[in-house]
Amino acid sequence: MSRPFAEGDQVLLVDAKKRRYLVTLTAGGEFHTHAGVVAHDDVLGRPEGLTVRSSRGASMVALRPTLAEFVLKMPRGAQVIYPKDLGPILMLADIFPGARVLESGVGSGALSMTLVRAGAIVRGYEIREDFARRATRNVATFLGEEALERYVVEQRDVYEGIDETDLDRVLLDLPEPWRAVKHAARAMHPGGVLVAYTPQITQVVQLREELEAQGFGMLETIEVLNRGWHIEGQSVRPDHRMVAHTGFLTSARLLS
């Protein structure tokens, strides 16, 4: 359904060099770049995909940000999980509408907004109050205030325990995820899925030992490599640069 841009909307402005800027629209507002000033009023009331001109004549395309674009541009404190991993996490964790999910830590909320948008009911445990607040703000900015009916973050240490019971899924992005595994095993029902994101392979080894000790099975660990291609006229080849490493994804099922 086509919706013209309105006040309060997020807009992604993309310049000729494909640089992206995320802006919240306000009547009378101005967006300043090295390439001049874009008046918000030139975007307000108009459909997505339009081209606007800055005061210095540079053209920019205006689109609503996708979830992946928002994640890369939103205010961040902690390191976020990147879109290349967020998509596979939805499949590995088998996220479905109405799934009861415990997520810890929530950081800037990139994974949170991915889960909530896929329909999950998410309880977050985050040790830092400022991150808990920022993640909640980011989720509401991208998904709307009504998303907070399915997203609540508590400021607490997941290593000390999980109060929820009968959870469908547990998602961990923590320095020492193995310290939450025992609690996860008590908080989930058999058949539930646990997925952990860890940058280091040594973390994976320690995590998997604990998963097996606590009655999880069907352990899998993968990494996701994403190689872009440069396609321009006769020049058709893989990009010279790629992100070589982000993190490992480990999934497991709770057995009875």
CB of residue 28 to ligand SAH, shortest distance in Å: 33
Q: Does 173 bind ligand SAH (CB under 6 A)?
A: yes
Nearer to ligand SAH, 13 or 93 (CB): 93
85 scored as a contact of ligand SAH (CB under 6 A): no
Residue holding tokens 């908080």? 187
φ and ψ at residue 50, rounded to 5 degrees? -75, 160
Shortest distance, position 220 Cβ to ligand SAH, whole Å: 19
Contact assessment for residue 57 and residue 36, using Cβ atoms and an 8 Å cutoff = yes
Q: Which residue is nearest to ligand SAH (CB)?
A: 105
- The residue count for binding ligand SAH (CB under 6 A) is 23
Kindly list the distances between the CA atom of residue 213 and the CA atoms of 25, 104, 120, 159, in Å, as whole numbers in the listed order: 52, 21, 28, 17
Q: Does 157 bind ligand SAH (CB under 6 A)?
A: yes
Angle in degrees, CA 104, 246, 64, rounded to 5: 80
Q: Of 61-80, which residues contact ligand SAH (CB under 6 A)?
A: 78-80
131 touches ligand SAH (CB under 6 A)? yes
Phi and psi dihedrals of 82, rounded to 5? -80, 155
Binder to ligand SAH among 35, 92, 158, 162 (CB under 6 A)? 158
DSSP for 13-32, written as a single string: EE-TT--EEEEE--TT-EEE
Among 62, 111, 153, 252, binds ligand SAH (CB under 6 A): 111
What are the counts of helices (DSSP H) followed by strands (DSSP E) for the chain?
6, 15
Question: Least distance (Å) from ligand SAH to the CB of residue 127?
Answer: 4
**Shortest Å distance, C-beta 34 to ligand SAH:** 29
Distance (Å, rounded) from C-alpha 38 to C-alpha 29?
9
Question: By the criterion CB under 6 A, which residues form the site for ligand SAH?
Answer: 78-81, 104-111, 125-128, 131, 157-159, 173-175
